[in-house]
Amino acid sequence: MALIKKDDHDWFLPEDVRKQLTETLKALRETVSLELFVQPGVNDEFSDYTGKFCADLARLDGRITYARHDLASDRAKALGVTASPTLCVNPDDYHIRFLGAPMGEEGKSFITAVMLVSLRANGLSEASLALLEPLDGERLAQVFVSPSCPYCPGQVMHAIKCAIARPGQIKAECVEMSENPVLTEKYNVGSVPHTIFNQGGHEALGLMPEERFVVELVHLKSAEELLKDGSLPGMEGMQTASGYGTIDPGEVDLVIIGAGPAGLTAGIYAVRAGLKTVVLEKSIVGGQVALTPVVENYPGFTAVPGKQLMDIMGEHARQYVPVHEGEAVESIRVGDPAKDEPITVTTARGVYPAKAVILATGASYRKLGVPGEHAYFGRGVNYCASCDGYLYKGKSVAIIGGGNTALTDALHLKNLGVDVTVIHRRDEFRAQKPLIESVERENIPVLWNTVVEEIKGDGRKASSLKLRNVITRAETELPVDGVFMAIGQKAATELAQAMGVALGENGFVRTGPDMRTNVPRVYAAGDLTGGLQQIVTAIGEGSIAAMSAFEDISHPYWKK
């Protein structure tokens, strides 16, 4: 074991990061012990990164201690550590481990874990603690992640919070998939976040609400299975709001549903206009933009990662309006506006009677609809290049599509060291010229006038695509390790339709230039409305919707 002294090295972290961390670490209470286990010759670059990161933290605040051990040491054997690098947080008290360097998005999980351990606080909601109560056995939650996945930290923190709440009973491990290929292959991980409970006793794909995570951790069954056999706890699906500021359910002027660019902008404008407002988001702040590897057409930024851009917008919005992440809307009942009856928005947390509602629910990935797509989802079939691209370094994938998203994803994967082929059903791209030129410059091969007929595999993973040329009708087969769909989006109109909001022929919500829908007091903005689905247009529509809501609340046009 080698203890790192304060003056043993130069600073590794940039000055601006050190300043930010110094402020964050001021809230520390109890001492936090960080122990890193490494094996020379295995993931040396990542071991070096982790060691320097931890040493800087210890140098920034004396309440953090750091020690480095060899994987063959007695300490490693005593703790049962077998992967290099493995970073343990207070290993004598908790089983909280990062298998792989906490880089990118997982840096946030690591710092949050340090803070919670120091505060001796688990951070779980009261509902989650109640759902955790019946647990009577040991649990291991291994969350497989990639550094660029914006959804992964949320799932990792669910596991860490549970481990802090039940030390000695629950173990939490954040597994960086590219640094742990044996584990990744063992559990057939093809998309992140992918959570393995009790070494395969149960598994879950994607980010889950906190309470659902706890339910499945305790029962080792999916919520759907528990519901089917009648044993689903009544609190399943709840998620206590978190963030810089929240408000309890109750009467408000305006409810904004969705925290993408449109929803966040609407929140800022609404509060500045004097409306008591809340933004409800079923997942995380950012929407589709948070999954965009690089944004190159947003004014003020020559190039910026989509997640970083949405973090900036989210921080700004939270200075004005409560943004409740993980709080999905279950139902909306529209009262009679002539009688001043409210629009009642119901979530798992409670009821929000509102004077108006802005729908900014965005759109979801459009499916190709071919055999094998569903069967191999997460097993070679992917929809998020930002989330899952790291898994395919040194491998071959196909990108299906010919628009901005398809070409952006192709360039991102190429930059990661992935062998990329673009498959497009037409003879020319629909993307912007700079993207087309970049794809040509990178010599990314394109199969023109070609469609996918079937995704084939061995039952465990996708392995090839059955293709058909739409001109010659010739059929071919393309061996691939994975395929990314980038064929457009489908508007999330379920809530809109339930309220009687009219849709256009293209399936998107129909609005006027003031973003009003056909239902008085209900507005829509962003990708939900179709048209030019760009960040700048979503922002514009969000601001217009908020001001229209303000105008209508002040001077109800339906009463004239």
Residue 497 and residue 178: Cα distance in Å, rounded?
42
Please spell the DSSP secondary structure of 404-457, one letter per residue.
Answer: HHHHHHHHHHHHHT-EEEEE-SSSS--S-HHHHHHHHHTT--EETTEEEEEEEE
Per the annotation, the verdict on 174 as an active-site residue is no
Residue 339 and residue 336: Cα distance in Å, rounded?
5
Residue 168 and residue 139: Cα distance in Å, rounded?
9
Residue 291 and residue 148: Cα distance in Å, rounded?
9
The helix, strand and coil proportions of the chain, stated in percent and rounded to the nearest 5, come to 35, 25, 40
Please spell the DSSP secondary structure of 461-502, one letter per residue.
Answer: SEEEEEEEETTT--EEEEE-SEEEE-S-EEE--HHHHHTT--
Per annotation, catalytic residue among 56, 162, 387, 481: 387
Per the annotation, the verdict on 340 as an active-site residue is no
Per annotation, catalytic residue among 253, 388, 409, 527: 388
- Terminal Cα distance for the chain, rounded: 79
Angle subtended by helix axes 152-165 and 106-119, to nearest 10? 20
Per annotation, catalytic residue among 56, 162, 384, 481: 384
CB-CB contact of 522 with 549 (8 Å): no
Cβ neighbours for 365, distance < 8 A, ≥ 6 positions apart: 383, 384, 485, 489, 490
Q: Give me the sheet containing 2-3, strands edge to edge.
A: 2-3, 64-70, 32-38, 86-89, 96-99, 170-176, 139-145, 194-197, 202-205
Beta bridge partners of 454: 466
Using the structure block, give the residue that is written with the tokens 């299975």. 225
Angle at 548 between CA 301 and CA 341, to 5 degrees: 130
Residue 70 and residue 79: Cα distance in Å, rounded?
12
Tokens of 526: 């962003």
Cβ neighbours for 199, distance < 8 A, ≥ 6 positions apart: 140, 142
Question: Active-site residues: which are they?
Answer: 384, 387-388
